[in-house]
């Protein structure tokens, strides 16, 4: 896998959007906010992946969240299968067993397990957190609070980047009732898998994220993420573009006190729903997780993805300002809930044959 080139991933400083000035307080953007927005626009026009810094997450909370994730997924398989609340498209909370989902339905199920957490203000936590360790509940909800604020601030930056009203995206995140923090665990594999053959399962099959954008935190040594720019905003189900063109994602930038990088960095990427609203002016980039070497195959892999989706009742439609005169929008109008449900049902096999949960070797 050493022949796979690395993508050019910019580093975006979100600090200008975490001070009470400019668009944060309903005024025109500051020069610093415009500069950050310009970097976002260039990135999302090309492929939609970037490292962000200074977005409110401390190293201490990130470490605690990953430790809690390891404790959760370290529970006995019987406990996870029998006692943890099982995920469904309608709830999108709780436990997704190992090899339960297929993000590319041309492949065998993905080699991962997951647990989804959503806004405690909208989705009562006393049910789906039952049987979870206490630390997982407290740290996952603390992480949710940080990432929810980061999402609202990033949505302001996106609006500035596209020259739209400052609350254009923020007003569809008033409730954040569809947003999800997904804790992911990839157990050791028997052999490396480079993704070149569809008959082989990989850790995450080829897909584009469903929502507006995603914040991705990578645990230590979380290798194997690859991206591939595509023409349209959506890829998934039977992807059909598995061969060639993949780029490796470089590691995050080192923390640098001289550069005023506080806390940690995260990957952010544009989802298909945001690309839809811009008529593909902004790109949603396909990505996957492979197993590049025997050393990587032998290790556990952890990550945390925060999926930011428009509110359930929000209209998801192409804005006419992104449609050329005389042309029709590429995508029909829908709602945040209808769009997300269709994608979750596809990934979890509800509309087709439901994949069975499989055992794995820890």
Would you put residue 318 in left (φ > 0), alpha (ψ -120 to 50) or beta? beta
Overall average pLDDT of the 136-158 stretch: 97
List all residues 6 or more positions away from 142 whose beta carbon is below 8 Å from its beta carbon: 61, 64, 65
Q: How confident is the model at residue 337 (pLDDT cuts 50, 70, 90)?
A: very high
Does residue 262 register a pLDDT over 90? no
User: What is the domain class of 11-347 according to CATH?
Assistant: mainly beta
How many angstroms separate the first and last alpha carbons of the chain? Answer: 25
Residue-wise pLDDT tens digits, 275-287: 999 999 998 999 9
Angle (nearest 5°) at CA 298 between 250 and 290:
45
Task: Pick the more confident residue, 132 or 350.
Answer: 132
Give the pLDDT score at 258. 47
Overall average pLDDT of the 299-324 stretch: 95
Does residue 168 register a pLDDT over 90? yes
Cα 222 to Cα 117, 258, 329, 340, distances in angstroms: 21, 26, 38, 27
Does residue 2 register a pLDDT over 70? no
Overall average pLDDT of the 28-52 stretch: 96
Does residue 353 register a pLDDT over 60? no
Residue-wise pLDDT tens digits, 212-231: 999 999 998 899 999 998 88
Per DSSP, the chain holds a count of helices (H) and strands (E) of: 8, 14
168-172, 198-202, 242-246, range with the lowest pLDDT: 242-246
Q: How confident is the model at residue 357 (pLDDT cuts 50, 70, 90)?
A: very low
Does residue 42 register a pLDDT over 70? yes
Q: How confident is the model at residue 195 (pLDDT cuts 50, 70, 90)?
A: very high
């Amino acid at each position: 896998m050493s022949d796979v080139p690395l993508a050019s991933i910019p580093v975006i400083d979100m600090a200008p959007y975490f001070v009470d000035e400019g668009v944060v307080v309903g005024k025109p953007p500051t020069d610093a906010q415009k500069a950050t927005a310009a970097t976002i626009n260039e990135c999302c026009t090309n492929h939609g992946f970037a490292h962000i810094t200074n977005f409110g997450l401390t190293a201490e909370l990130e470490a605690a969240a990953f430790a809690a994730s390891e404790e959760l997924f370290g529970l006995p398989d019987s406990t996870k299968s029998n006692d943890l609340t099982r995920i469904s498209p309608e709830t999108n909370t709780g436990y997704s067993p190992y090899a339960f989902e297929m993000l590319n339905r041309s492949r065998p199920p993905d080699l991962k397990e997951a647990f989804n957490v959503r806004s405690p203000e909208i989705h009562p936590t006393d049910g789906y957190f039952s049987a979870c360790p206490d630390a997982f509940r407290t740290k996952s909800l603390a992480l949710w609070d940080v990432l929810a604020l980061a999402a609202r601030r990033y949505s302001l930056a996106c609006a500035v980047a596209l020259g739209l009203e400052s609350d254009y995206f923020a007003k569809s995140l008033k409730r954040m009732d569809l947003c999800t923090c997904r804790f992911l665990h990839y157990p050791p594999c028997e052999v490396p898998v480079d993704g070149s053959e569809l008959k082989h399962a990989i850790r995450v099959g080829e897909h584009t994220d469903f929502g507006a954008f995603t914040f991705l935190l990578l645990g230590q040594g979380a290798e194997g993420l690859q991206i591939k720019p595509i023409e349209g905003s959506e890829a998934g189900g039977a992807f059909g573009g598995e061969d060639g063109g993949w780029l490796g994602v470089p590691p995050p930038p080192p923390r640098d006190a001289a550069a005023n990088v506080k806390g940690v960095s995260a990957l952010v990427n544009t989802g298909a729903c945001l690309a839809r609203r811009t008529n593909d002016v902004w790109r949603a980039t396909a990505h996957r997780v492979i197993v590049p070497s025997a050393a990587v195959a032998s290790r556990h892999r952890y990550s945390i993805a925060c999926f930011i989706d428009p509110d359930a009742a929000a209209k998801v439609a192409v804005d006419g300002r992104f449609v050329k005169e005389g042309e029709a929008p590429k995508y029909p109008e829908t709602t945040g809930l209808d769009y997300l449900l269709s994608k979750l049902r596809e990934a979890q096999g509800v509309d087709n044959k439901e994949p069975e949960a499989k055992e794995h070797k820890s």
